[in-house]
Amino acid sequence: MGLLAEYYLPGMHVAEHAIDVPLDWKGHEPGRGFDGPHITLFYRVLTAPDHIHDDMPLLLFLQGGPGGAGPRPLDPASDGWIGEAIRHFRVVLPDQRGTGRSSHIDSNVIGTMDGATGAAYLKRFLADSIIRDFEHLRRTEFAGSLWTTLGQSYGGFLTLTYLSFFPAALAAAFTTGGIPHVPADATDVYVHTFPRMKRKTEQFTDRYPLDRARLDTLADKLADEHVTLPNGDPFTVERLQTLGSSFGMKPSFERVHWLLDEAFAAGDGSASMASPLTDDFLAGVMAATSSNPLYWPLQEFIYANGELDKPIDWAAQRVRDTLPEFSTDARPLLLTGEAVFPWMFEQERALRPFRAAVEALMQETVFGTIYDARQLERNTVPLQAAVYFDDMYVDSSLSLDTLSRVGNAHYWVTNEFEHDGVHGAKVFRHLFAEALDRGDLRKLF
């Protein structure tokens, strides 16, 4: 398909492209022809206006998620790392398979499949396939040129997959808040992150004491009454608790505070069981607790590496069941973070079509291989990681344990930023400067 369009955004030239890739990479090699079912991989290339005709090195951005499309920047400053990156690189922004303008998965697609078929289909949208798409892109559309990767969140997981299987493709790699534990274990992740969810809730209500009463009153009201969101989904205590999903980012405390500030319609808006809930609040909850179509269906399977000893079987729910303080009946009410639960596929209209497929995947034990621990130990590609000490989603102790066993890995541990620190102006600039000063980018500059 080649070039689809090109245009300028403020401060950037944008070229849009798409290529075909196999739906199933089994039996196919990136860079070579293939037959059988295929899907489309869409990507954009960003270039600074004064570098359009220059031979710039390539930076591939590995988007967070899972199920996340590439950024849609407004200008170089709207996503902080981009302004720095286009000074040095031609930036490639792919929409990972199943997202954005790549062949898209949502309820319309998965709703036509039974559980087994849907489960087999969703397996094709995890790291082993995503990385082969990108390697095929590099070999076919960029003449096999080396590229540097920047992996945010789940993009860091993808980085270790790339380093495991195609290290010769990379000149260097950067990650921000995204070093997974290897060996991967979903249950272990939630054992470490549920205490962080509790601490974040406590920090939130310590900062905004009025919101403690608001949350508890809302929970009591939702337990007693049938309340629906504007799209018809039931507004339950469980869904209220998921307002904590954003607490690993800034300024989520403030966003949730102002959302709760206008929850109650009667009187002066103080928490009251007798008060109806405002339309604005219900619309805000619906927006704040909804996600892209693949985020929750794939959430626990990003930890599935090869043949498992036992099924994942709703790891977050199993850990939660051991923690009575996270019960919907507990007061003070605790909010939950980046964790998927079975009730979501019953209560949320957008997720119901995925239920049979996800239930089937939860009982499977054979997945694609996403990490090669031995290859990571002998890695020679310079890896520079930002590890956020208080990260609510990717536990820093697990990240540091992994990095201790990855060759040529360097890390910067900081509590200055939350999980989304890369979107500011400082993080990528810091990582780039450290790698440049150390000589890690000598193949490029």
Domain final residue pick, 362, 380, 404:
362
Identify whether residues 37 and 60 lie together within a single domain.
yes
Residue 166: both structure tokens together? 């195609």
Does residue 357 belong to any structural domain of this protein?
yes
pLDDT tens-digit series, residues 387-396: 999 999 999 9
pLDDT tens-digit series, residues 83-110: 999 999 999 999 999 999 999 999 889 9
Whole-number pLDDT of residue 361: 98
Identify whether residues 270 and 309 lie together within a single domain.
yes
d(CA 272, CA 263): 10
Residue 353: both structure tokens together? 């079509």
Identify whether residues 50 and 177 lie together within a single domain.
yes
Whole-number pLDDT of residue 1: 64
Q: Please give the single-letter amino acid code of residue 176.
A: T
Task: List the one residue out of 125, 87, 93 whose CA is nearest residue 106.
Answer: 125
Whole-number pLDDT of residue 109: 93
Average of pLDDT values for 167-181?
A: 98
Identify whether residues 375 and 323 lie together within a single domain.
no
Whole-number pLDDT of residue 292: 85
Above pLDDT 70, what percent of the chain?
100
d(CA 93, CA 164): 22
Do the Cβ atoms of 133 and 42 come closer than 8 Å?
no
Identify whether residues 241 and 313 lie together within a single domain.
yes
Whole-number pLDDT of residue 2: 79
Q: Which residues contact 31 (CB under 8 A, 6 or more apart)?
A: 135, 136, 139, 140, 144
The CATH number of residue 149's host domain is 3.40.50.1820
Whole-number pLDDT of residue 135: 98
Residue 34 scores a pLDDT above 70 = yes
Give the pLDDT band (50/70/90) at residue 145: very high
SS3 (DSSP) at 240:
helix
Does residue 378 belong to any structural domain of this protein?
yes
Give the burial string for 255-293 (b: 16+ CB within 10 Å, else e). bbbebbeebbeeeebebbeebebeeebbebbbebbbbbb
Domain final residue pick, 362, 382, 409:
362
Q: Report the predicted TM-score, pTM, of the whole model to 2 decimal places.
A: 0.97
Cis bond upstream, residue 73 (ω within 30) = no
Whole-number pLDDT of residue 271: 96
Do the Cβ atoms of 419 and 153 come closer than 8 Å?
yes
Residue 119 scores a pLDDT above 80 = yes
SS3 (DSSP) at 20:
strand
Do the Cβ atoms of 409 and 403 come closer than 8 Å?
yes
Residue 364 scores a pLDDT above 70 = yes
Q: Which residues contact 407 (CB under 8 A, 6 or more apart)?
A: 376, 377, 378, 379, 380
Residue 270: both structure tokens together? 């103080």
d(CA 438, CA 432): 10
Identify whether residues 104 and 228 lie together within a single domain.
no
Q: CB 74: neighbour CB atoms within 10 A? A: 13
Do the Cβ atoms of 396 and 387 come closer than 8 Å?
yes
pLDDT tens-digit series, residues 215-260: 999 999 999 999 999 999 999 999 999 999 999 999 999 999 999 9
Average of pLDDT values for 45-52?
A: 97
The domain containing residue 407 runs over which residues? 2-183+370-438
Do the Cβ atoms of 129 and 301 come closer than 8 Å?
no
d(CA 24, CA 134): 14
Identify whether residues 193 and 92 lie together within a single domain.
no
Identify whether residues 269 and 207 lie together within a single domain.
yes
H or E element at residue 239: helix 237-241
Whole-number pLDDT of residue 420: 95
d(CA 282, CA 280): 6
Residue 161 scores a pLDDT above 80 = yes
Whole-number pLDDT of residue 75: 96
Does residue 445 belong to any structural domain of this protein?
no
Give the burial string for 208-231 (b: 16+ CB within 10 Å, else e). beebbebbbbbbbbbeeeebebee
Q: Judging by beta carbons within 10 Å of its beta carbon (0-12, 13-18, 19+), is residue 318 exposed, middle or buried?
A: middle
Above pLDDT 90, what percent of the chain?
97
* DSSP bridge pairs for 264: 277
d(CA 236, CA 227): 7
Residues in the chain: 445
Identify whether residues 236 and 88 lie together within a single domain.
no
d(CA 157, CA 161): 7
Give the pLDDT band (50/70/90) at residue 266: very high
Residue 211 scores a pLDDT above 70 = yes
Q: CB 156: neighbour CB atoms within 10 A? A: 29
DSSP codes, 140-195: HHSTT--EEEEEETHHHHHHHHHHHH-GGGEEEEEEES----SS--HHHHHHHHHH
pLDDT tens-digit series, residues 273-328: 999 999 999 999 999 999 888 999 999 999 999 999 999 999 999 999 999 999 99
Identify whether residues 126 and 222 lie together within a single domain.
no
Whole-number pLDDT of residue 291: 86
Task: List the one residue out of 273, 288, 285, 291 whose CA is nearest residue 235.
Answer: 285
Domain final residue pick, 362, 391, 413:
362
Q: Which residues contact 373 (CB under 8 A, 6 or more apart)?
A: 182, 183, 405
What total of structural domains would you count in the chain?
2
Task: List the one residue out of 243, 262, 239 whose CA is nearest residue 204.
Answer: 243
Does residue 16 belong to any structural domain of this protein?
yes
Name the packing angle between helices 154-165 and 127-141 (round to 10°): 70
d(CA 360, CA 436): 47
Q: Which residues contact 44 (CB under 8 A, 6 or more apart)?
A: 14, 15, 16, 17, 70, 92, 93, 94
pLDDT tens-digit series, residues 399-432: 999 999 999 999 999 999 999 999 998 999 999 9
